[in-house]
Chains A and B, each alone.
Chain A
Amino acid sequence: MELSVKGIVRRFGPVTALGGVDLDVAEGEFLTILGPSGSGKTTLLKTVAGFEIPDEGRVLLGGEDVTLAPPRRRDVGMVFQNYALFPHMSVAQNVAFPLEMRRRPRDEVKRRVIEALRLVELEGYGDRLPRQLSGGQQQRVALARAVVFGPRLLLLDEPFGALDRKLRESLQLEVRRLQRQLRLTTLFITHDQEEALIMSDRIAVMDKGRIEQVGAPGDLYAHPATRFVADFLGESNLLDGSASAGHAAIPGFGAVPLPAGQPDGGVTLLLRPEALRIAADAAAMPCRGQGKVLETVFLGQSAKLRMALDGGGEVLARLPLRPSDPPPAREGETVAVGFAPEDLHVVPRG
């Protein structure tokens, strides 16, 4: 493992920011830490970078224990949320900074700065001051500065937080391309689940100072281990029912079949909104119910419906739309709703 975090605990007075975090990142891997505000993401990143000393636990970089090593001894490139570019230095001076601190010869510094700026498509911007650049350009300078010295680990703390959507999307792809090209082991922080799904090899979902689950994006989406992960990643219907003899009784849908080996007792089932079909499309579905449409939202390539089920409870359905399709249902209308049982996922720790 390039980076191993073992049992990290960090308390600030009464607040436990990190309550025992274990995490492994493989060489060349892009791992995203996803979690709501205050879940401890930044604290974890600062611990890895060396700006925080944990109360308990260890940080290993390439097998070496660096828990107490100062930041400058860790060879870690970090992009801060507000870029943290040195405002009194030109773009080239900013990018040259880590090389100068390593006392590289002058002509090597010059060459590598040019290469790094080319990598982020900012050739010819070397003489500008950071404040003469747009937000996205500053972001790319920060990125160039963090990778120019060939760090063994790249840390990014919500680097796109302050950018508009278009720019965000193009930078997401650019960072991903750069990371692959340089084969950089990367720890990326975001609270935007869509961003996490787009960019990551693996995602670690964090809540209240703990890691809830780690896995590939598709795996986390389809098989969340906890209610929190199911809820936080994508949109979800969480249905509480009780299991007996391989079936679960769910209000509104009656008894639905469960995967084999499910013990009796209370269960939480995850049903993604896109698994639901309504009206005529619902007729072909093995599990069916009926409900009143409370709200419809048009989203371009799909429509979202909030429905009150006849047996009690609410569900969210997302229906794909072609441009020629009429609206799938009107508000107030009562329609059939159904799904296939294989689209159900039992949340193990509901």
Chain B
Amino acid sequence: MSSPGDSRRTTARRRETALFLLAVPALLLLGIIFAWPVLRLLAMSVEDGTLANFEKATLDELYLYVLFDSVKIAAMVMAICLLVAYPVAFWLSRAGRWGVALGMFALLLPFWTSVLVRTYAWLVLLGRNGVVNRWLRDAGLIDAPLPLLHNTSGVLIGMVHVLLPYMVFPIYASLLRIDPDLSRAAEGLGAPAWRSFLRVTFPLSLPGVSAGCALVFVLSLGFFITPALLGGGRVIMVSMLIEQQVREFLDWPFAAALSTVLLVATLAIYALIGRITRGARHA
């Protein structure tokens, strides 16, 4: 015999199951287009029965250097995005209706243009005789054109441009969630605006900062088109290395090993960002 409590638990469980069913299509899709290929990749990298490919990917100085360089560029993109995006997000969170509409439009506009087109546009803007250099020269600010293309600066400019919205939106969302009375309370209790920001608003926006940093970093680390075009072959990211292994050397197992290393590095850094921001919040 079942007690009334049992049937209640059954009912509760049934409701949970019903809710879970809603997530099944998404889980299936993820499983098919994400988890399965990743597993295939892993399998491919150890096809020959040894870890030789991983040894090459993690011990060979050349590949380590590229990986390190990619992490460095991703970190720089992340840092620049954060510095540019935070003030924008802060302004948006305090702006009136028209300010928000304008800001959203400006941020979303690039999403309606493909990354490829935008990157080519930067080629036009940043070249030796590009728009930017011409302006600077006409304004008398420089004598010789600045090297903005086919180097790290070009890659950084292009990537920051593409990835900026991914930093602005999470920060904006977390700033909106903060009760405006909190900064009022801080000021009423004697804090100048900047101290109220440092002690109250900023710490409470850290979840958004963390999400934005993680998004931008992860996307940067695997970025391909923009660094390939704007770097002019002088800036090499892991993604370009992988593509090269497949296209030029047809070395699928080694490409797979490199990809796995990239994936692990991404996950590790993702975890690190989360840990740092959580720590900072209660400091």
Contact = CB atoms under 8 A, between A and B. Distances in A.
B138 interface: no
Which of B179, B190, B204 has most chain A Cβ within 10 Å? B190
Contacts of B186: 86, 97
Given A80-B181, A88-B282, A97 B188 contact: no
Contact of A72 (B181, B192, B204): B192
A76 B200 CA distance: 19
Interface in B164-210: 179, 181-182, 184-192, 195, 199-200, 203-204
B204 A78 contact: no
A98 B189 contact: yes
B179 A82 contact: yes
A28 interface: no
A101 B281 contact: no
Contacts of B203: 88
Does more than half of chain B's interface fall in helix, strand or loop, or is it mixed? helix
B278 to A, nearest CB: 11
Contacts of B195: 101
Contact of A86 (B187, B192, B200): B200
B191 A84 contact: no
Given A84-B179, A88-B282, A78 B190 contact: no
Nearest to A73: B190
A76 B195 CA distance: 18
Nearest to A90: B282
Contact of B204 (A76, A88, A97, A149): A88
Interface size of B as a range: 10 to 19
B190 A80 contact: no
Contacts, number: 57
B190 A88 contact: no
B190 A149 contact: yes
Interface string A141-164: 000011001000000000000000
B257 to A, nearest CB: 42
B188 A78 contact: yes
A236 B190 CA distance: 45
B282 A80 contact: no
A101 B191 contact: yes
A86 B187 CA distance: 12
Interface residues of A, number: 24
B204 A98 contact: no
A21 interface: no
Given A84-B179, A86-B200, A88-B204, A101 B185 contact: no
Contacts of B199: 86, 97
Given A97-B199, A101-B195, A86 B182 contact: yes
Given A80-B181, A97-B199, A51 B188 contact: yes
A47 to B, nearest CB: 13
Contact of A98 (B182, B184, B190): B190
Contacts of A149: 189-190
B184 A51 contact: yes
Contact of A78 (B179, B182, B185, B191): B185
A102 interface: yes
A328 interface: no
Interface in A56-112: 70-72, 74-78, 80, 82, 84, 86-88, 97-98, 101-102
Contacts of B191: 72, 97, 101
A50 interface: yes
Contacts of A50: 188
B174 to A, nearest CB: 12
Interface string B102-127: 00000000000000000000000000
A49 interface: yes
Contact of A84 (B184, B190, B282): B184
Given A86-B182, A101-B195, A71 B188 contact: yes
B189 A101 contact: yes
A102 B189 CA distance: 9
Contacts of A97: 186, 189, 191, 199
Contacts of B187: 51, 70-72
Given A88-B281, A98-B190, A149-B190, 5 more contacts: A70-B187, A72-B192, A97-B191, A101-B189, A149-B189
Shortest Cβ-Cβ A-B pairs, 10 listed: A101-B190, A98-B189, A84-B185, A84-B181, A71-B188, A71-B187, A72-B190, A101-B191, A78-B188, A80-B181
16 contacts: A51-B188, A72-B187, A72-B189, A74-B188, A76-B188, A77-B189, A78-B188, A80-B181, A80-B184, A80-B185, A82-B181, A84-B181, A86-B200, A98-B189, A101-B190, A102-B190
